[in-house]
Chains A and B, each alone.
Chain A
Amino acid sequence: MKKLLSNLNHWKVDTISISLIFFLLTSSFVFAQTKIQGTVKDVSGMPLPGVNISVSGTKKTVSSDYDGKYSVEAPSDATLTFSEVGFTTRIIPVNGQTKINVILQISSEDLREVVVNIGYRTQKKKDLTGAVSTVKAKDFADTPQVSVDGLLQGRAAGVIVTNNSGQPGGSVSVKIRGITSLSGTNEPLYIVDGIPISGDATSRATGGTIVRGYVGGNSGSVATSPLNLINPNDIETMDILKDASATAIYGSRGANGVVIITTKSGKKGTGKLTYDTFLSTQNVTHLLKTMDLKQYAIQQNALANVYNVQPRSEFAVPDVLGAGTNWQDEIYKTAIMKSHQLSFSGAKDGNTYYLSGGYLDQEGIVVGSAFKRYNFDVKLESKVKDWLTMGANAAMGISDEDITLNGDSNGIISSTILSTPDVAVRNLDGTYAGPPKDGSQGSWINPVASALMNTNNLIKKSFSGNFYSTFRLAKGLEYRFDLGGSNIISDFEAFQPTYTWGVAVNKVNSLQKRSNSWYGLNVKNVISYKLATDSHKFSFLAGQEANDSHYHGNEQTIAGLLSNDIHSINLGDQNTLTASEYKGSSALYSFFGAFNYDFGDRYGLSLTMRADGSSNFAAENRWGYFPSYAGYWKLSNEPFMAGAKPYIDNIKIRLGYGESGNQNTTGTYNSNIRAIKSALGNFYTAANIANPDLKWETSEQTNLGLDFDLFNSKLAATIELYRKQSSGFLFALPLPSYITGLEGYQGGLEPPQVNLGSMRNQGIDATLTYTNKFTQDFSWNSTVIFTKNQNELMSLQGNFDLTKDAGVNGYTQKTVTKTIVGQAVGQFYGYETVGIIRTEEQLANAPIPFTGNKAVKSVLGDVEYVDQNKDGLIDEKDLTFIGNPHPDFTYGFNNTFKYKNFDFGIFLQGSQGNDVMNLTRRAATKNQKLYENQLAEAIDFWTVDNVNAKYPRPDGGDGHPNIAISDRYVEDGSILRVQEVKFAYSLPSDIISKAYLTKLRFYASVQNLYTFTKYTGYDPEVGSYNQDPLLAGIDSGRYPTNRTITFGMNVEF
């Protein structure tokens, strides 16, 4: 009989006919056994789902359903064991009963006996010494997030997440305890089931950005998230190692923090088949008020008057004109997102399994952008022998993105605002229209046409797998061997068709294809030993790890394709074919060890050490050593605290110090030769200024943490204070261009990578959780997180000036940030404004601009800037700091209310005190050019008849610095966002059990319901341009974040 059942259970895996199985399982033809039913609840009466119920003398286990209900067949003389992490296990004899209701006590020791992955090992949360935040699947259930990094937003203290783009598949900046480095990426290291993945969306370490815009048109933020290949639904937990005492075990890659992602695996109990789906609609939250046709005509006539040119005859009588084209209406649409996921998991006879397949289809709110993803995941573990466990997991993700280039001054979003209302989207014959013939060149191109007709398609395929075996050598002694590999293959296709959109004509189409493939192999050998006596607990770990990664990329371009229809290199004019490639490899070889000791569950000590050898440095600087020390004192477990037990469940004080590093640089310790093509053939130039002295960047961090749980764990809090100092951070030396000349590809010298300076981040992370059950049916769970980080640049080699430019139109770059010692990095930099010069007296006293090769006196209607050095002139010496992109603090406030079978949640998150530089508004109020639209407010410019205007007098050239980068464009970017409101209903189990379901749940949610902000652009959450920490908070037309309304369903059999 048993065999039959077992066969049937195996058979079940293959069959589609699930109902038959339920019929068999629930039918009563198993004579020797009785069916026992009941409910498992906690002391407060809340049903406990997922409790393991095992039957003595058999290998049979079941688990309780969402309402705590269970049903199991057992001999009448058997005993049932009810167990669940965080609760005291109960063993109850059946004694012929058919209904057994059980109440489980919260385990007296610690209700949060949660296990946390801290790198190569796990530890109970209560025994942690370092600062670790954990985000679990249930925290983001019902949230239709596409990328896992976005899920961290507002959910983990000390972690600041900003969306760099609202584009489907767009990148996210995740900063754990601030910016530690200026070199490229500050993204944490992600370890997905043991496989390291860099969060660097621009792939600096693997050969460069694969996505690039066309030369001279609609380029922009092109970073796409490397994590968007992972399906958030497959994730069980994310453990975020924040302080160096925790990250030091990852040594050279731990400086920006480590996020350890553990995917779901099979749980004890019967196999579970789960289907999750949702449907969302997304919309842009609001549009900017641009000029309609009538306003535009008035403004153009006024500008023509100022510039002394003939006004356009069609604008002679503005009043008779209609509204014209609002390009924003044309470019934004309601977008649909769909997701389906089917997973199957369980555990039986020492084998656990998890299988899942997912599909996501997200349209972008900007026409022409879309994201599709397919995910497949298999995870198996088998206890082969008593002493041997083997497991393997394999994951595959395929994504297909249609990218709308955005975020730069000539990206789609910006050109939508500058496109004029006098031009229709399409001509009468259905073809796309464009700027008029007599228009000034290059102002804008039909954004709808360029979004829809240009192709920017990125397909990424990732495969990763890990195989491991764990040998139990003796009691407490284990050896684990891991062999893992992962690869990402990216293919980018850009196609620019031939077109005639008004005066914008492209006579020859062109195709660019870029491919990049990367693979990494990872081998680990780890020995661990644990020993526990009554009052002493030891654990010890030693390991070795090797990483070997290789990348290769190539690019082909061709022009003159036969038609715009089929995009193949084969169909172009072979004379125009170009090809290039790059390739390289890197290696990391490491040893590490960890030692933990606990005395009497009161005093704990943790020591770790890692040695890393990296191929990124010259032989003599190759090895880096990263130690950490940390300890805790569980005050609440002291005998003298015994009296406080009824109120105080746990008080723990932690102190830790650690060092971690950063090796994220390319192998530039050599002096290289670059080949460049020319009319005379390839020529070979010195490619870079070599720096063989380049060393590891080291980050030293001290962390003081306090955890407490009060009042039967109704109130729990973690407060951490930290100071993190990174020294010798890696950076390309910002040399003046008279030393380096051009860009490397044009024949200039690339500046050396150096250990440029030191930086400090200090701050507070706090998490406060309150959970209470007010009545039998009603409970409330609330979590507040608070993050305050202060960044300061401590020193800079040679006191270099770090300025950073951003593009303000197709060609012109303007300095927008400057970073100096003693301040936070990436401060906005420009002129401070006094106001518009409105009186002769003001004019007489105003300092004189000297921004070219001579002083040019202002006239009435010009902007007066503050003469910082009081020399009577306005020049670069008067540039000053005009804003700070870093928030004073960020916070999240997450509430869940449960009433009977209803869940209601509201999640607020915010950021306070950060500034945003609104370059989109600058471009849209500059009144500089004819044939270019502006914001409606821009009409209010100074003329002799409008002396109280908001904006200065128009000036055709760049002669007077009226539109120089100044505090006129810096705005308060503080926000409070109603990030999510959700409502869910689970059908009662007595109803759904009739349909053989264990769970049926419906939910509806709204993301980004409302944002409280004073910001005048689309959205102040602009992130960093291509993840560059020196270009944070610069809004050059970022793809707006959308409002999403979601309906979803979870079904479980």
Chain B
Amino acid sequence: MKKYMINFKSLLVLVVFVLTATACNDEFLDRSSEDGYTSDAFYSSDEQVAATTYGMYGRMWAPFYTKCFYALTELSSGNCWGNADGNEVIQFKLTADSYILSDPWRSCFGVVAQANSLINDLQKNAKSTVSPAVVKSTIAEAHFFRAISYFYLVRLFGPVPIIEDNLALAKDPYVNTNRVEDVYTFILNDLKYAEANLPVKIRSRTPGLTNVGVSQGSAEAFLAKVYLYQKDYANAKLMAEKVINSGEFGLLPKYSDLFLTSKNNNEESIYSWQWAGASVNEYQAGNFSNIQYGLDILNDRASYGATYVPTNDIQNAFEQNDLRRQESYMIYGDYYPNLKGDGKVGFLLDKALYPNVLDGTGAAVKKYVVGQETGETGAPDGWGGMSNCNYIMRYADVLLIHAEAIMGSAAETNDPVAKISFNKVRERAGLPALDVNTPITHKGLIHERRVEFAFEGDYWFDLGRIPRSEAIALISEQDRGADYEGVKHYTPVETDFIFPKPAIDVRKNPKLKEAPVPYVFK
């Protein structure tokens, strides 16, 4: 027993020691992040703050852009035919379950969420080591991107919920949608804020990274476009003229240069999405147009090129001698000296060599197709994504907006100022300018826009803003089929111009399908 007592004492000491040595303190239970920042410790330098918006110049839009962007705009507008998938869009049978709808929805609202986070919290979280100018311009960029998001959302889905505070909404998420006119007001407010707070700059005539950042002029250009959609022609004209007169942007002399990787961020670019090829090499960090549009033989990686091909209808829309034709789509016999295809630089689309590649409609899209890797294109990423930018808005758009704003709701105009802008676009395309006696017609202008911006994701929205009867008439005349199907006509109905809201969210919040409510502006 004595032995036990001795041990007992020594052990008691041991126990007390062990208990106190390992005694709990908060440090043991405090495990902060070991592989990233927390928000209260992050915003401490100009570089850190500036880097918060890089994603909104491209990558955050990727799930939208990768496929759905073209499906929703080019397939539905009758510019493209979908080889494997896309029938439901072409034939106006899209259902709310489709990922073609949910990915754009989520991309746009993702940008809204991150923009809101900057708008609401950056001022408060930024340390004193960050210069106020950077905070100011970053918040202005956030307003700009939020406007872009809502501009896509309202054009694709009509009434949508206006969200300014995601954290508050997380507690009470079942909101109604807001009226289309309120969404537009919200967009205009954001763009005006951006216009007032973004830096003023002049685009360098040398393409490069300095031209990436959006400026006061970018906000004004979008204001012009949004006013046009609002049929506020006076303001649209005013804004377009502000942009034109500032001299910040300019038309690239050669249309074909617009789609070279080496001309990324040229002076015509107002806002472009930036993509990385091998330099990032992550899924959806590159531009997938080379696969989506480009033939197999123009791809290094993917084996399923040219999913979307030009309809016969758009092929016929190009006038004779339009320089844009060969830059927009390719047919047998076309030769592209810079393009590397089937292993050779200098690509001839030779029917004898590639007899079956144009089986769908006899053509393939050329725009945004850069071909196999060359020094000019840079290396593709693991999925075939390339590093060429795509335009969300370029200066040619401002010129056509300008012309259209002057014409207003009239069927035609002979205004010389309008014609100057209009003719600049036509002349670059190698087409004769309209003479003093030939008016710009409404029809001709919409047609010019279709051809100028073919396959860039804009025509569907033009069809959506012109009178419905006119749009329905235009579409019902289109041949929307492949050659082996014969001519296929599909006539949309009124509601087909607004896509159904994604089922994933409607099931969570059925109020999304109810009538929109007015938004209470702060």
A interface list, Cβ under 8 A from B = 215, 308-310, 386-387, 437, 440-442, 471-474, 479, 481, 503-508, 510, 523, 525, 527, 544, 546, 548, 557, 559, 575-578, 581-587, 589, 613-615, 619, 622, 667, 670-687, 689, 733-742, 746-749, 751-752, 798, 800-801, 803, 805, 811-815, 818, 851-854, 856, 876-877, 879, 956-959, 961
Contacts and interface: CB of A to CB of B under 8 A. Distances in A.
Given A678-B59, A737-B105, A852-B96, A505 B274 contact: no
Interface string B268-292: 0000001110111111110000000
Interface string B432-476: 000000000000000000000000000000000000000000000
Contacts of A442: 84, 304
Given A523-B22, A749-B113, A958-B88, A853 B499 contact: yes
Contact of B504 (A583, A813, A957): A813
A581 B42 CA distance: 19
Give me the 10 closest cross-chain CB pairs, A-B, nearest first. A741-B110, A505-B303, A959-B93, A683-B54, A679-B276, A957-B88, A742-B110, A678-B59, A679-B274, A680-B54
B314 interface: no
Interface stretch (B168-176, B229-237, B409-417): B168-176
A753 B306 CA distance: 43
Interface string B16-35: 00110010101011111111
Nearest to B1: A474
A585 B59 CA distance: 30
Contacts of A615: 28-31
A890 B420 CA distance: 81
B162 to A, nearest CB: 10
Given A442-B304, A746-B63, A583 B34 contact: yes
B170 A672 contact: no
Given A667-B31, A678-B58, A876 B495 contact: no
A671 B125 CA distance: 12
A585 B280 contact: no
B7 A471 contact: yes
A504 B111 CA distance: 35
A755 to B, nearest CB: 14
B199 interface: no
A450 to B, nearest CB: 14
Interface of B: 1, 3-4, 7-8, 11, 15, 18-19, 22, 24, 26, 28-40, 42, 48, 51-55, 57-60, 62-63, 83-84, 87-88, 91-99, 102, 105-114, 117, 121, 160-161, 163, 166-167, 169-173, 209, 212, 274-276, 278-285, 296, 299-304, 307, 356, 379, 381-383, 387, 484-485, 493, 495-496, 498-500, 502-510
B495 A853 contact: yes
B39 A741 contact: no
Nearest to A879: B507
B39 A737 contact: no
Contact of A557 (B53, B92, B296, B382): B382
A479 B102 CA distance: 61
A332 to B, nearest CB: 28
Contact of B4 (A474, A507, A742, A876): A474
A274 to B, nearest CB: 38
A679 B8 contact: no
Contact of B105 (A557, A581, A738): A738
Contacts of B11: 471, 473, 479
A561 to B, nearest CB: 12
A680 B60 contact: no
A584 B160 contact: no
A961 B96 CA distance: 11
Given A575-B278, A852-B94, A737 B53 contact: no
A437 B296 CA distance: 13
Nearest to A961: B95
A441 B304 contact: yes
A671 B302 CA distance: 39
B166 to A, nearest CB: 5
Contact of B505 (A557, A738, A854): A738
Contacts of B503: 815, 876
Given A546-B24, A575-B279, A672-B37, 12 more contacts: A473-B7, A585-B31, A670-B32, A677-B276, A678-B58, A678-B274, A679-B279, A680-B274, A683-B54, A689-B166, A853-B495, A959-B95
Given A215-B383, A525-B18, A678-B280, A854 B106 contact: no
B278 A576 contact: yes
A169 B294 CA distance: 43
Given A686-B39, A852-B95, A876-B96, A578 B282 contact: yes
26 contacts: A471-B11, A506-B303, A507-B300, A544-B19, A576-B281, A615-B31, A673-B38, A679-B280, A679-B285, A686-B117, A737-B109, A739-B166, A739-B170, A741-B111, A742-B106, A742-B110, A747-B110, A749-B117, A798-B171, A812-B99, A813-B504, A814-B97, A851-B95, A957-B91, A959-B93, A961-B95
A512 to B, nearest CB: 10
Q: Most B CB atoms within 10 A — which of A510, A581, A854?
A: A854
A803 B88 CA distance: 25
B307 A815 contact: no
A678 B285 contact: yes
Q: Most A CB atoms within 10 A — which of B1, B39, B296, B302?
A: B39
A406 B117 CA distance: 39
A437 B359 CA distance: 12
Given A474-B8, A741-B106, A958 B98 contact: yes
Contacts of A811: 99
A366 to B, nearest CB: 25
A685 B142 CA distance: 12
A62 B504 CA distance: 69
Nearest to B102: A737
B59 A741 contact: no
Given A576-B281, A584-B34, A441 B307 contact: yes
B483 to A, nearest CB: 12
Contacts of A687: 36
Contacts of A736: 173, 504-505, 508-509
Contacts of A685: 52, 55, 60, 114, 117
B507 A958 contact: no
A876 B55 contact: no
A751 B170 contact: yes
A504 B505 contact: no
A677 B52 contact: no
A694 to B, nearest CB: 13
Contacts of B510: 876-877
B285 A677 contact: yes
A737 B99 contact: no
A46 to B, nearest CB: 43
B507 A801 contact: yes
Contacts of A440: 84
Nearest to B38: A670
Contacts of B40: 671
A961 B170 CA distance: 32
A614 B163 CA distance: 35
B485 A308 contact: yes
Contact of B38 (A504, A672, A680, A957): A672
Contact of A746 (B29, B62, B97): B62
B303 A507 contact: yes
Given A587-B28, A679-B387, A749-B113, A215 B283 contact: yes
A812 B503 CA distance: 12
A815 B102 CA distance: 13
A825 B495 CA distance: 37
Contacts of A803: 504, 507-508
Nearest to A525: B18
A312 B163 CA distance: 53
A917 to B, nearest CB: 16
A747 B93 contact: no
Contact of B28 (A441, A589, A852): A589
Nearest to B121: A686
